[in-house]
Structure 1
Amino acid sequence: MQLKITKVLNNNVVMSKDESNQEIVVMGKGLAFQKKTGDAIESSKVEKTFVLENSNVAKKLAELMKETSEIYLDLSYKILELAKSQLTYKLDNYLYVALTDHLSFAITRHKNGIDLKNPLLWEIRRYYKQEFQIALKALDMVEEDTGVRLVEDEAASIALHLVNSQLSGENMDTAIKVTELVNNILNIVRYYFKIELDEDSINYERFLTHLRFFATRFIRKEKAENTHDDFLYEQVKKKYTAAFECTERIAAYIAKNYDWDISNDEKVYLTLHIHRITNRHQIDSTS
């Protein structure tokens, strides 16, 4: 099938449609030079092609490319290809827009001597380890392509964009709120048991994953349905007393600060996770 230009974004980037009538972005040096809508795309000049599943993303990308160099779109493409190969969750197409815009702004700021601090750097490095490692590699890619070495705080921002994509359709503010809520819950567990959690353990990773989805549901105001399994609730409450009391403190904190009453089902899950991540410490302290 001969691809045709549906919109020229600049000399090197055009919009087109594939054989499924899906909007795509096609990149290549001089691809659109002296070309216009309706002209055929020379396949020999095509270097990269990627599908845009959402027409709204295509419109925003077209708007962005009016004032942004395609070098940043190319970087976004390469970073997202790396992320797709390593992350288990699907990345939202809007990342092409968000990341291109972010990289353009960050590099321009850096060249003007302005490097912003990311207040969540510490939390992102700890709680989103895989995304942060991908983001650190992204900084290497940026340096390789532009000669600019961005500060580590920018890796945290790139990682947040990846995390935010997991919350498909949300904005960056959502990812920040999720991170803050997760951090606050983990601190309650640390202070209650007066321990440092083993962040390399599989139980910690499971708890972290659960907290992320728990926090995401809260931010989206998606309250989980209660199964009304009172027997299980009472059993867990009785068997894991300390973990349950910690869960109650978390519930009280959320009710007071966020006006959200968590269900008994959620209390059961939290209690079991808390027991798992703290049980090792309790065994060690008594041995």
Structure 2
Amino acid sequence: MEIKKVFNNNVVLTENGQQQEMVVMGKGLAFQKKVGQPVDIEKIEKKFVLADQGLSDKLADLLVDTPEVYLELSHRILDYAKSQLSYKIDDYLYVALTDHLHFAVSRQKEGIELKNPLVWEIRKYYKNEFQVALKALDFIEEETGVRFPEDEAGLIALHLLNSQLNGDNMDAAIQVTKMVNNILNIVKYHFDMKLDDNSINYERFLTHLRFFAMRFVREETDHVSQTDDFLFEQVKKKYEQAYLCTEKISKYVAKTYDWDISNDEKVYLTLHIHRVTNRQEWTNK
């Protein structure tokens, strides 16, 4: 195991036995060491594999001005996230979350608190990610002595959500959250009812909406409709109110995002809307 890159005196890049890039950390691990020299295995305290080999340069740039404690924190948080979430965590989060934590703790120590206007929606729509993020606040306090409010948990949850978007653009995660929230509001006000967010049908609908929004963010909307015209007409006729709601959603998406959704998407939306609004108590607002 030899050094491929020196990040700082305590962090280096190397390779494991499977020729995968691996970041290893330890006190004085790279002190007076150069590329090509062997790694002192006895000094290794932490290590993690980078599946995306293009990240090492970004990590090297980041660690020039960022204490490695924040990389350690990111590693701890993401290890916990991997044990709690069903989807793959993108390796880019090691960079993005390290940078975010360093900035967040620095401004908190300076007395600058940023409010997260989406925290209510994030807590409601991304429950698993939010629970992981709440645990992350405990990790941060243990390592830095800084206790963040739940607003910060919402921002960390967005980073986890962004892992499903395969990129480093936090704006994408925010856009998904806003689109989902606005569509749910259209459904709620169309039927003048409160949706049961503890029901299985609600969870299914929410999952569908997340991936619906992600397709737009990923620019995967240009596909040919596969729905049979007869099926579309049948669904439209059988679930009239749900379909009228779908049309409102379609107009909202077209006006706001310039996205004309296909008939197959309208079928899925209509069926989900019928399920989530059927057999529920109607409540006047």
Give me the TM-score of the superposition, normalised by structure 2: 0.96
1:49 is matched with which residue: 44, 47, 50? 47
The aligned residue for residue 179 of structure 1 is 177
The aligned residue for residue 148 of structure 1 is 146
The aligned residue for residue 263 of structure 2 is 264
| Alignment of structure 1 residues 236-255 onto 2, 5 Å | 236-255=235-254
The aligned residue for residue 274 of structure 1 is 273
Matched position secondary structure for 2:47: strand
Distance apart, 1:202 and its partner CA:
1.2
Cα RMSD after superposing both structures: 1.3
Between the two proteins, the alignment pairs up a number of residues equal to: 282
Stretch deviating more after TM superposition (187-196 or 216-225)? 216-225
C-alpha distance in 1 between matches for 2:267 and 2:257: 20
The aligned residue for residue 209 of structure 2 is 211
C-alpha distance in 2 between matches for 1:112 and 1:170: 26
C-alpha distance in 2 between matches for 1:134 and 1:225: 38
Contact 2:165–2:173 (Cα < 8 Å) also in 1: yes
Matched position secondary structure for 1:190: helix
1:200 is matched with which residue: 176, 184, 198? 198
The aligned residue for residue 20 of structure 2 is 22
The aligned residue for residue 112 of structure 2 is 114
Give 2:61's aligned amino acid: E
Distance apart, 1:170 and its partner CA:
5.1
The aligned residue for residue 229 of structure 1 is 228
Matched position secondary structure for 2:114: coil
Uncovered stretches (5+) of structure 2, i.e. residues with no partner: none
CA deviations 1:129-151 (Å, max 9, x no partner) are 10000000000000011111112
The aligned residue for residue 96 of structure 1 is 94
Give me the TM-score of the superposition, normalised by structure 1: 0.95
| Cα distance change on mapping 1:122 and 1:49 into 2, 3 Å | same
C-alpha distance in 2 between matches for 1:67 and 1:46: 22
Contact 2:96–2:168 (Cα < 8 Å) also in 1: no
Give 1:279's aligned amino acid: N
Matched position secondary structure for 1:24: strand
Matched position secondary structure for 2:7: strand
Give 1:255's aligned amino acid: A
C-alpha distance in 2 between matches for 1:131 and 1:249: 29
* Structure 1 moving runs of 4+ over 6 Å: none
C-alpha distance in 2 between matches for 1:36 and 1:87: 38
Residue 190 (str. 1) matches residue 188 (str. 2)? yes
C-alpha distance in 2 between matches for 1:102 and 1:258: 29
Contact 1:8–1:37 (Cα < 8 Å) also in 2: yes
The aligned residue for residue 159 of structure 1 is 157
Uncovered stretches (5+) of structure 1, i.e. residues with no partner: none
Contact 1:178–1:216 (Cα < 8 Å) also in 2: yes
